[in-house]
Amino acid sequence: MNKSTLKKRLKEWDDKQWKEELEAKSSIMVYRSAKTAIKEDPIYDNTASSIILFQARSNTLPLETRKRHTGEETTCLLCGDGEEDQHHFLLECTKLAEERLKMTSLQRPHQEDQLEVLKTFLFNESTEEMEKNKEGLYKLWRLRKRKLVTVTDGSALDWWPRLLFSLACLLTVVVGAILAVWVHIKLGQPQKVTIKRPVPVDHVKNALKCGSQQDKTSGYQRPPIVSRAVDEVLAEIVSHVVDDFFSSWYSQLAFEPDLQAQAIKNEIWESLRRLQDRLNAIDHVNFIATDVFNKIKQHFQRIRIAHEMSDGKTTLPMYTLVSYLANPERELQFLRSVAEVVIMILLPPDYSRCVPVRQLLRETLACHVFQPAIDLLCDPDFINQKVYEYVHHHQLWRELHQRTYTYAASYEDFIGIIQESNDVDELKHIRLFLATRSCHADHSRRQRKTI
């Protein structure tokens, strides 16, 4: 059995079940006689009139006849003549006759088959006529609701006592509020307000200068984080970062930009110290041999499973990604969460308590640090370039170590080779080779002298 035959048999079975359910329900005779097949009806849209039309077609309008299930009265509340069912609402209620006269489809003589009249009105084949009938049915239903409110409330003139009561309540609230404010003003004690003159700008500048002199004299004693050599490299990187991303624009706004730049450098060093403390608490052997290895193994397992599930011709491999990599927006939101955790862990608590500063640092880290770094590290071209550079450098290093060092026939040619060389590693290796040969020569001379 092919796919088309199976699809056809399923449709036939579905149509059969649908028709059997229609035959079993006696309350939807109009729907059963007019709806002969399952298909989409373009008359429905996202409007209230479409809802009323569907309820009328399926005989589920909330009329009085639905109260028969609870044993209540089902007589029409508008005209009081007979049970209010679908036929009575659309064809017989005298209170709705004026609105019914505007609809041509309901003006046929009632001696005809009422089922055919309702079928023609609710299931007209003409789209234009069906739109008119839908709007007319909605107007007829709204008129019934308005008249029903009038009937249940007693009379159309009974609204004015409620209006007067509402106005009286509103007037009482307004007058009470005005009296409360007036009493508070009359009984309150007068308060004296002292206006302070602004401090001159020169005094502020002098205070800033005094503070800057104290800060310069105090200095900042920074303990080593890793080692002296590594700290020097870190200090150079931190200095360049602060100069390029902070001092370049802050120096034009601040009175003493160097002090603020130094304060930021101190905060960065404190963050690096906290990071070093947390890194020291990690079991590096377990992290590399177990955690990193398991993550790499899981990644390659997912790739293998994806390739096994696809045939490689008609279907492409479908890789299973984590939830925060579903789209760029969710990835950026995840990086924002990571940035907030980094801020809370590495920076002082004052940064986390200040909401504007925390949000500024979060957006800066997520959008300008984490996301560009991840995009660069995951770029295949960047990875290929780094692999090529490593292989090329390793090849040159092997050639350098395997060289026989027959540099030149004379001393002048040897000096010329050194002067023409631009490779620092090669020059260092030549120096090491000469030092080793010199030691061997000294050792050989001492052995000859002893002999």
How far apart CA 275 and CA 266 sit, in angstroms, is: 14
Lowest mean pLDDT segment, chosen from 13-27, 172-186, 235-249, 335-349 = 13-27
Confidence band of 148 (pLDDT split at 50, 70, 90): confident
Plot region of 142 (φ>0 → left; ψ -120 to 50 → alpha; else → beta): alpha
pLDDT bucket at 2, cuts 50 / 70 / 90: confident
Q: CB within 8 A of 400, min separation 6: which ones?
A: 425, 426, 429
Chain centre distance of CA 192? 53
pLDDT of amino acid 57:
77
Q: What is the pLDDT of residue 218?
A: 42
pLDDT > 70? residue 160: no
Domain boundary among 101, 127, 153: 153
Classify residue 298: in a domain, yes or no. no
The single-letter DSSP state of residue 288 is I
319 is a domain residue: no
Q: At what angle do helices 127-153 and 48-57 cross, to 10 degrees?
A: 90
- The token pair at 430 is 């030549």
pLDDT tens digits, one per residue of 399-417? 665 554 455 567 777 787 7
Task: Output the six-digit token pair for 370.
Answer: 């984490």
Reported as a single tens digit per residue, the pLDDT across 106-141 is 765 544 567 777 777 777 777 788 888 888 888 888
* 392-402 pLDDT per residue, tens: 887 877 766 55
Q: What angle do CA 43, 45, 48 make, to 5 degrees?
A: 110
pLDDT value of residue 216: 46
Among the candidates 133, 153, 173, a domain finishes at 153
Under the banding of pLDDT at 50, 70 and 90, the label for residue 156 is very low
Residue 157: predicted pLDDT: 47
pLDDT bin (cut points 50, 70, 90) of residue 278 is: confident
Residue 67 pLDDT: 82
Q: What are phi and psi of 354, to 5 degrees?
A: -85, 110
- Mean pLDDT for the stretch of residues 364-376: 91
Q: How many domains does the chain have?
A: 2
Query: Is residue 26 situated within a structural domain?
Result: yes
Residue 83: strand pairing partners:
75
User: Which tokens sit at 93?
Assistant: 């209620």
pTM for the model? 0.41
Residue 155 reports pLDDT greater than 50: no
For 371, residues 6+ apart whose C-beta sits below 8 A from its C-beta are 331, 332, 335
| Rg over CA atoms, the chain | 45
4 domain-assigned: no
In a domain, 135, yes or no: yes
Domain that holds residue 422: 383-441
pLDDT of residue 215: 47
| Residues 135, 34, 48: CA angle, nearest 5 degrees | 25
User: In this structure, is residue 311 part of a structural domain?
Assistant: no
Q: What is the pLDDT of residues 172-228, one digit of tens each?
A: 989 988 888 887 777 765 555 565 555 555 554 555 555 445 444 444 456 777 788
Asked whether residue 370 is assigned to any structural domain, the reply reads: no
Show the 3-state SS of 232-274. Answer: HHHHHHHHHHHHHHHHHHHCCCCCCHHHHHHHHHHHHHHHHHH
More confident position, 54 or 383: 383
| Contact (Cβ atoms closer than 8 angstroms) between residue 65 and residue 84 | yes
Could you say which of 122, 153, 184 is where a domain stops?
A: 153
Of residues 121, 114, 60, 123, the one with CA closest to residue 88: 114
| Coil/strand/helix, residue 320 | coil
The per-residue pLDDT for range 66-122, each reduced to its tens digit, is 888 788 888 888 888 888 888 888 888 888 888 878 877 776 554 456 777 777 777
Asked if residue 170 belongs to a domain, the reply is no
Q: Are 376 and 382 in contact (CB under 8 A)?
A: yes
